[in-house]
Amino acid sequence: MKNKDLFIGVFIGLIVCFIGCVLFITLFTSMGLEEGFSNLKTQGNLGKLITLGALLNIGIVYWLFKKNKDLMAKGVILSIFILTIYTVFV
């Protein structure tokens, strides 16, 4: 049961980051979703986009700690570490 909560937290963290990236592209650029991702990748700004998308995870971690879902919150923090390692290599 405990490992399941950790994996759910990692999954939540990755999905929330993706939603944050999509929201940033749709709200702050005039490009479409595919065009926005490809342009940011060619400009070398994809890591910055992922970092902006991961900012939403702060609220998720806070909310999970308030609901006493500590292991899920740790999973979200683990997903932030995974995204950090990914952005270093992108």
> What pLDDT sits at residue 30?
87
- Parent domain of 49: 2-89
Task: Report the range of poorest mean pLDDT among 1-10, 13-22, 65-74.
Answer: 1-10
> What pLDDT sits at residue 1?
60
Q: Total domain count for the chain?
A: 1
Query: Please, are residues 53 and 24 in contact by the beta-carbon 8 Å criterion?
Result: yes
Alpha helices in the chain (DSSP H): 2-28, 33-43, 46-54, 56-66, 70-89
The tokens for 25 are 């592209």
Overall pTM > 0.85: yes
Q: What is the 3-state secondary structure (H, E, C) of 49-65?
A: HHHHHHCHHHHHHHHHH
pLDDT of 80 above 70: yes
The tokens for 23 are 């929201």
pLDDT of 50 above 70: yes
Largest CA distance in the chain: 44
How many Cα atoms sit within 13 Å of 32 on the Cβ side? 2
Across residues 67-87, what is the average pLDDT?
A: 93
> What pLDDT sits at residue 13?
95
